[in-house]
Amino acid sequence: MSTFTMYLQAVIDGLLIGGVYATIAVGLSLAFGVMRIINWAHGELLMVSMYISYFLFTWLGIDPYLIIFLTAAIMFVVGFLLQKLVISNMLAREKSVEPTSVLLFTSGLGLFLSNLALALTSGEYYSAVTEYTGKMMKISEIFISVPKAISFVIAVVCTLALYVFLQKSETGRAIRATSQNRDVAILMGVNMKSIYNIAFGISIAMVGLAGGLLIPYMTLNPNIGSTFGFKAFVIVVLGGYGSVIGALVGGLLVGVIEKVGTLAASDITAQICVFVVFILVVLFRPNGLLGKKVKM
């Protein structure tokens, strides 16, 4: 295998996982863009939706790619209720636009969820053996994992569907209006509270989707959330807060950086690279590489 093919292979692997990263990050980006909430439990909610997908798969035994929509629906309800019952009250109480109390609350939630999973599973690793697991396609010199490819396609389609939804539908327009100017949106007759509930619901539903997409090829463990959680923040910052297309590009980029970095140096160097990129972007391009001008 020539060096070129190896790198091409790494880039393709990176793009395939990057699509799923994008789906995770889009949800986070939406929550921040609309409500200016830093959801620190985003990764842990992903972990929860992976467990939900896993158990739905083992109990129901239907195609893992049908389960994702079920998980997404469950997670939508979770997000909707979390916002409606808890976070909305905290937002109402806070004077500042970007409440750090929600950040603290969600970090508590993350700590709770990951350790709950640890206590329940006693640290055991699960991996779902689906009919897709381990299948490979070979295109000339390049190997492509079938489940990764299917997950990638679904992830990109769903992310683009969310983009269209936000651009074209009435609810989507209301969500965007709220993210641009809360007060004017209210004056225009937008029911801010219900928009917040829906937006946070969608944010968590995207995580549910991603959780289902990861199941056919990823081993489950209680700490998996934090790995993805911070990556999602990196992607959101890269893409610019609130930008769906930015998150998609950022997701693919982070995927490629990771895989190429792993090939060129080591797994840990690749991880360090991702964090360094985060700090550089935050310092020098706080609006993201191609993000719209978001007021800081």
Partner 1 sequence: MKRKTWNPKVVSLGVICLAVLMIPRFITGTLTLQYIINIMIFAYFATCWNIVGGYAGQLALGNGVFVGIGAYVSAVLFNYEGISPFIGMLIGGAICAVLAIFIGSLTFRLNGSYFALATVAMLHIIRLTFMSNKYMFGYKTNGALSLNIKWRGGFQNMQFENNVGYFYLIFALLVVGILISWYIKNSKMGYYLQAISTNPEAANSLGVNVMAMKLKANAISAFMLGVGGTFYSFFLNVIDPSKMLGYDMSVQILLFAIIGGSGTLVGPILAAVLLVPVQDILRGIVGASVQGLAPMVYGLILMIFVYYLPRGLWPSIVTLYENLTFKKKQRMAKDGR
Among the candidate windows 21-29, 63-71, 82-90, 208-216, which touches partner 1 by CB under 8 A? 82-90
Binding characters for partner 1, 173-212, by CB under 8 A (x = yes): ----------------------------------------
Shortest Cβ distance from residue 226 to partner 1 (Å)?
A: 7
Which residues in 250-289 contact partner 1 (CB under 8 A)?
266, 268-269, 271-272, 275-276, 278-279, 282-283, 286
The amino acid that residue 283 corresponds to is L
From residue 144 to residue 173, the character string flagging contacts with partner 1 as x (rule: CB under 8 A) and all else as - is ------------------------------
User: Is residue 90 a contact point for partner 1 (CB under 8 A)?
Assistant: yes
Instruction: Write down the least CB distance from residue 240 to partner 1, Å.
Output: 13
Neighbours of 96 (CB within 10 A): 8
Select from 57, 105, 196, 217 the one that contacts partner 1 (CB under 8 A). Answer: 105
d(CA 128, CA 217): 8
| Paired tokens of 249 | 């590009």
What is d(CA 192, CA 179) in angstroms, rounded to the nearest whole number?
10
- The backbone torsions φ and ψ at residue 287, rounded to the nearest 5 degrees and listed phi first, read -90, 5
Residues binding partner 1 (CB under 8 A): 38, 86, 89-90, 93, 96, 98, 100-101, 103-105, 107-119, 122-123, 222, 226, 230, 233, 237, 266, 268-269, 271-272, 275-276, 278-279, 282-283, 286, 296
